[in-house]
Chain A
Amino acid sequence: MSALGRRRFLANALVVSFVLSGRGLAQDKKLPPSLAKTPHLDSWIRVNADGRVTVFTGKAELGQGIRTALTQVAAHELAMPPAGIDLITADTDLTPDEGVTAGSHSMQDSGTAILNAAANVRALLAEAAAWQFAIAADQIVMRDGAAHAPDGRRIGYGDLAAGLSLEVQAEPDMPRREGGTSVIGQNLPRLDIPAKVSGGQAYVQDIRLPGMLHARVVRGPSDGTKVKAADIAAVEKMPGVVKVVREGGFMAVVADQEWRAVKALHRLQAAGWERSAPPIPASDLRETIRRLPAEQVTIFDYPGPPSPADARTIRARYSRPHLMHGSVGPSCAVAQWANGRMTVWTHSQGVYPLRKALAELLRLEPQRVRCIHVEGAGCYGHNGADDVAADAALAARAVPGKPVRLQWMREQEHGWEPLGSAMVVELAAELDAQNRIAGWRHEVWSNTHSTRPTTAGGLLAGGELDPPFATPKPRPIPMPEGGGARNGNPIYALPNARGTFHFVEQMPARVSALRGLGAQMNVFAIESFMDELAAATGADPVAFRLAWLKDERARDVVRTAADRFGWPARRKGGDGVGTGFAFARYKNLATHCAVALEVRVDRDTGEIRVPRVVAAVDSGEAVNPDGIRNQIEGGIVQSLSWTTLEAVGFDKTHRASFDWSAYPILRFPAVPGRVEVHVIDRPGEPFLGAGEAAQGPAAAALGNAVADALGVRLRDMPLSPQRVKAALRPVRAEPHQAAG
């Protein structure tokens, strides 16, 4: 009996009624999580009378190309051209709740859900067609948005749908469409790019509503500070200023024109500022994090015999500073308070969690808050998007009826966005007499990697109102995903290996999720250390990894990157020229990514150049290989920027990295000469997100290449010219050194 056998069609009206017992039937089979949460098909897919199909996703386009990839998935499974599909992304009034768009989960969650929902809808359409043509359903061929009978009769989806209700629950395990041309695996051009290269409306920053006002929020230079009392009456008299909004410690200025709001902002800021939080303990916080009280969490414990007594121990300590998302476009939102409802256009990664937090902040029923996702500039994690949505909502509530557009200034983005936490990793390994790894210890110190708002206290404005909403206590994210511990569990089949996460609750600076979370640091440490062990045993770094890597897909990725790079024939490191290799599987359960690269280090200036990078990646079935390449290329370049240049600096009172001069990132002259990405397609395997997979391997490959080039290893990021120079400088042993 086909999966649809349980459905029955009424004879004279083309209305599908659904046997309710169907809900309970498939207890052994499970819907993919997103679909299980929102099981009605019409929450995902609607077929319009004209044959166009609207697909709904709870995920958001963040510039990662998800709009295109999800459209491809739907088009493939519905057997229709992608151009016939309209995709609606995250909107609390319209789309399913799929939480946040993060952790490279979008393809896995929404892609799988849409794939299944579309398979259900296709089957329903086919069955409807079979009934119309009065033939068996398996005779029907679905193609180009229509059902075809063997005798040439054809009926379009629009006509079929006229009498079909999709208000039914999805069935688990619907077979995927087979045969025919597939749009999955094709490099469908990104749907969002034409508007972006022609000046079309593409971003929340571009929204212009009739009667819209412009606002700016007024804060001190960075988290933990506040502005002093300003002459508000004078500012309210400035031309075009509509209102200075004040609620408790929250302040924003609303004006008729954007520039007038900026001028008013500067006037308000001129009053000066003070620190409201305790002083910042150091200009670089990694040592602070290492020393603060921490909660010990075991992250993995692989059994094995204790290492032999004659084993030699190798230890190393790695670290990274606080890092910034540093989106090129500062966070922005448009909000409107009308008819007892607050509507917010936002580039938040989670419209539903944001709605919940905003409702609490505004003391409204959640149903009276609507959050609509509109693209912003690249986000790379929890940046100012949610905070600015709250700022805009508070400003809008003060001018009922009027839409208010509020964008942060550059220095506010730099000063207030939650940073990626500084981290320290200490590794120790025991090598036995045969140079095999006989024991492994991984210890990692870090603040939390998620303070994403789910309550009003998680929003900046929430802490500024009177009374303030309490900031939620950060908790470590459990493995296998992990936060600071993410990818702390080595993928290598190591015996007698244990890892501890030292979760530091106290946050000397505001932090949250940054692309890859702890993975970048943990992979940098593990993959640097693998090279150090390979060197200690005289092994080739790639061969050494393969010796401990059991997973076949992982091995394939490693071998592909090595082959395409020409690893065996690479030139011997030295004289400032070197090559490096690194591998990781993101979270040990998502995309596999290996990176090989070449560096040239200028021994005089300490600058590192990267003439060539080769990466191999396996993210399951590749829906849009070029999209994956784009993500990996971007991840590599961004990670090289983090690893060679970036560090948030602090003063006792504030973040000193307030703009691009104080927080430089990679610019054109220093980006790699060439980046090649090889995608290994695995048709039929689950989709795995690729967005964050390159951060760790790129960082570690760079570190390994620099060590190869200089003969000295740098273990503290960034591998800045100063650090390179310092590492190269010979240190004369003190002639009268005291013993010990």
Chain B
Amino acid sequence: MDAITPPAPASFDRYLVAEGEDLAKLGNCAGCHTAEPSRPLAGGRAMPTPFGKVFATNITPHAEDGIGAWSREAFGRALRRGIARNGEHLYPAFPYDHFTRATDQELEALYAWLMTRRPIAGRAPETKLAGIFGFRPVVAAWNLINLDEGPLADDRQQSPSWNRGRALVEGLAHCGGCHTPRDRFGAEDRSHAFDGARIEGWYAPPINARSPAVRPWTADELYVYLRTGLGPMHAAAAGPMGGVTRALAQVPDTDVRAIAVYVASLMAGAPAARQDKAEPVDRLADVQRAHPEAATLFAGACATCHEPGAPMMQQGRPHLAWGTPLHEDNANDTIAIIMKGLVSPAGATGPTMPAFADMLDDRQVQELAVYLRARFTDKPPWADVGGAIAEARQGEHK
């Protein structure tokens, strides 16, 4: 499509721009498109795929390097069909298969918001994928098979809140972007929607009937978690989810409630939903005998926050036995949290935990993870704790 002269910011309706801002937060655009906080939306963040890195592009209204020359139509086509202004097919790492669900009005608002941002020069590194996937036409073929264009029709059996939630979860909020495993093309595998997936060394757990949560997630609890990053009966939002909850803290309440309602319905069939555990598992005595070294590490490094009687526990923070990460099928989240900690951005109120990567060595982290799993769950030991640690260390040096 033809390049246009970037429209003047003042030409956009300011109410529309404000709406667009909410949508951009619901979609967490900045999560992928901002690499350095001082250069918002200027791109640069890499998304690993099996074939190499896909770099998020500059989506500021810069005429050459960003999307300043994109008309409203070009923008709509990109979000609905994954085709850039110049006709190139975008990689499905850009979740247009979700964004396609956005309504025209929403696209209008998003466009208005993006075009009124500060234009920033500079392009993200070029994406070079290995083998045939380097050829964008393959993506076109993929689209032909997989892409189902346009907004979803409401389900009349369900509440308006549920429908709004579905539209967001399946659409702009693109929860599947992290929580659904990807296929060989780097696109979400729809047959395993929300089954859980690895993401940047973390694990986005299943948020459907396979949810490993120990206690049921109610819509109310999900709402609190999404808004504050902290679920008193489950866990604190860590890794990439931390950014998501911080963005969701700023969008209209009804939208977050709607997401919570819909996701709760996805998890309705999960084991926890059927059988609520009243008491946390804590096999302290057994584990102390089996893992004396880890018990010491825990007592000196962790207990001051996580043992009953610790200040954090007095404040009603989740018991480790309620924490979802320990109950997941792999050790990635547990390891990542121990090693990288939980960082709230400076000045914001929210759960934090120091990173232990420099305080403990790999063997100690491994001991600790094994201990935690044995003490606070009734699940079998994890298979590859060492691998998870290596993965987390790798991330450190990048």
Partner-B contacts on A (CB < 8 A): 220-221, 262-263, 265-271, 273, 409-411, 604, 607, 644-645, 649, 654, 656, 658-664, 666-667, 669-670, 721-722, 725, 729-730, 732
Closest 5 pairs between A and B when the two form their complex, measured CB to CB: A270-B309, A411-B311, A266-B309, A269-B309, A661-B352
Q: Among residues 1 to 55 in chain B, which have CB atoms less than 8 Å away from a CB atom of chain A?
A: 14-15, 18, 21, 40
Contact yes or no, A267 B309, CB < 8 A: yes
Residues of B within 8 A of A644 (CB): 347
Partner of B315, one of A410, A658, A722, A729: A658
Residues of B within 8 A of A263 (CB): 299
Contact yes or no, B310 A667, CB < 8 A: no
Shortest distance between the CB of A218 and any CB in chain B (Å): 10
Residues of B within 8 A of A664 (CB): 344, 346-349
User: What is the bound-complex CA distance between A243 and B314, given in angstroms?
Assistant: 24
Contact yes or no, A670 B311, CB < 8 A: no
- Interface majority SS on B: helix, strand, loop or mixed? loop
* Nearest B-chain residue to A604, judged by Cβ: B40
User: What is the bound-complex CA distance between A18 and B307, given in angstroms?
Assistant: 69
Besides the known contacts A262-B304, A604-B40, A661-B351, 16 further A-B residue pairs in the complex with CB atoms under 8 A apart = A266-B310, A269-B309, A269-B310, A273-B314, A409-B311, A645-B347, A658-B315, A659-B311, A659-B312, A664-B348, A667-B346, A669-B346, A670-B346, A670-B347, A722-B250, A725-B250
Q: Could you mark each residue 339-363 of chain B with 1 if its beta carbon is under 8 Å from any beta carbon of chain A, else 0?
A: 0000010111111100000000000
User: What is the bound-complex CA distance between A658 and B18, given in angstroms?
Assistant: 35
Contact yes or no, B347 A662, CB < 8 A: no
Contact yes or no, B309 A666, CB < 8 A: no
User: What is the bound-complex CA distance between A660 and B117, given in angstroms?
Assistant: 33
* Nearest B-chain residue to A718, judged by Cβ: B347
In the assembled complex, 10 residue pairs joining A and B whose CB atoms fall closer than 8 Å, in A order, are A262-B304, A266-B303, A266-B307, A268-B309, A411-B314, A660-B352, A662-B315, A721-B347, A730-B14, A730-B15
Name the residue in A410, A661, A722 with the highest tally of chain B Cβ atoms < 10 Å from its Cβ.
A661
- Interface majority SS on A: helix, strand, loop or mixed? loop
Q: Among residues 291 to 336 in chain B, which have CB atoms less than 8 Å away from a CB atom of chain A?
A: 299, 303-304, 307-312, 314-315
Contact yes or no, A667 B347, CB < 8 A: yes
Contact yes or no, A661 B350, CB < 8 A: yes
- Tier of interface size on chain B: 20 to 34
Query: Do A221 and B15 form a contact, CB below 8 Å, given A661-B351, A670-B346?
Result: no
Residues of B within 8 A of A730 (CB): 14-15, 18
Contact yes or no, A666 B347, CB < 8 A: yes
* Nearest A-chain residue to B21, judged by Cβ: A604
Residues of B within 8 A of A670 (CB): 346-347
Q: Could you mark each residue 106-124 of chain B with 1 if its beta carbon is under 8 Å from any beta carbon of chain A, else 0?
A: 0000000000010000000
Query: Do A656 and B315 form a contact, CB below 8 Å, given A661-B349, A669-B346?
Result: yes
Partner-A contacts on B (CB < 8 A): 14-15, 18, 21, 40, 117, 250, 299, 303-304, 307-312, 314-315, 344, 346-352
User: What is the bound-complex CA distance between A660 and B304, given in angstroms?
Assistant: 15
Contact yes or no, A269 B314, CB < 8 A: yes
Shortest distance between the CB of A604 and any CB in chain B (Å): 6
Shortest distance between the CB of B247 and any CB in chain A (Å): 11
User: What is the bound-complex CA distance between A670 and B344, given in angstroms?
Assistant: 14
Shortest distance between the CB of B15 and any CB in chain A (Å): 5
Residues of B within 8 A of A725 (CB): 250
Query: Do A662 and B310 form a contact, CB below 8 Å, given A730-B18, A732-B15?
Result: no
User: What is the bound-complex CA distance between A644 and B347, given in angstroms?
Assistant: 9
User: What is the bound-complex CA distance between A660 and B309, given in angstroms?
Assistant: 19
User: What is the bound-complex CA distance between A721 and B346, given in angstroms?
Assistant: 12
Partner of B344, one of A265, A661, A722: A661
Residues of B within 8 A of A722 (CB): 250
Shortest distance between the CB of A15 and any CB in chain B (Å): 62
Shortest distance between the CB of B297 and any CB in chain A (Å): 14
Shortest distance between the CB of B134 and any CB in chain A (Å): 35
Residues of B within 8 A of A273 (CB): 314
User: What is the bound-complex CA distance between A410 and B312, given in angstroms?
Assistant: 11
Contact yes or no, A221 B309, CB < 8 A: no
User: What is the bound-complex CA distance between A233 and B52, given in angstroms?
Assistant: 62
Residues of B within 8 A of A604 (CB): 21, 40, 117
Shortest distance between the CB of B379 and any CB in chain A (Å): 25
Shortest distance between the CB of B279 and any CB in chain A (Å): 15
Residues of B within 8 A of A409 (CB): 311
Residues of B within 8 A of A661 (CB): 344, 349-352
Residues of B within 8 A of A645 (CB): 347
Shortest distance between the CB of B333 and any CB in chain A (Å): 20
Partner of B308, one of A265, A270, A666: A270
Shortest distance between the CB of B169 and any CB in chain A (Å): 24
Residues of A within 8 A of B344 (CB): 661, 664
Partner of B311, one of A221, A271, A607, A732: A221
User: What is the bound-complex CA distance between A271 and B308, given in angstroms?
Assistant: 9
Shortest distance between the CB of A422 and any CB in chain B (Å): 17
Contact yes or no, A658 B350, CB < 8 A: no
Shortest distance between the CB of B60 and any CB in chain A (Å): 11
User: What is the bound-complex CA distance between A658 and B350, given in angstroms?
Assistant: 12
User: What is the bound-complex CA distance between A662 and B314, given in angstroms?
Assistant: 14
Residues of B within 8 A of A649 (CB): 349
Residues of A within 8 A of B312 (CB): 658-659
User: What is the bound-complex CA distance between A43 and B223, given in angstroms?
Assistant: 66
User: What is the bound-complex CA distance between A259 and B299, given in angstroms?
Assistant: 11
Name the residue in B299, B310, B344 with the highest tally of chain A Cβ atoms < 10 Å from its Cβ.
B310
User: What is the bound-complex CA distance between A107 and B132, given in angstroms?
Assistant: 79
Residues of A within 8 A of B15 (CB): 730, 732
User: What is the bound-complex CA distance between A649 and B21, given in angstroms?
Assistant: 28
User: What is the bound-complex CA distance between A82 and B21, given in angstroms?
Assistant: 62
Residues of A within 8 A of B307 (CB): 266, 270
User: What is the bound-complex CA distance between A640 and B345, given in angstroms?
Assistant: 18
* Nearest A-chain residue to B17, judged by Cβ: A730
Residues of A within 8 A of B348 (CB): 664, 721
Contact yes or no, B349 A662, CB < 8 A: yes
Residues of A within 8 A of B351 (CB): 661
User: What is the bound-complex CA distance between A409 and B40, given in angstroms?
Assistant: 40
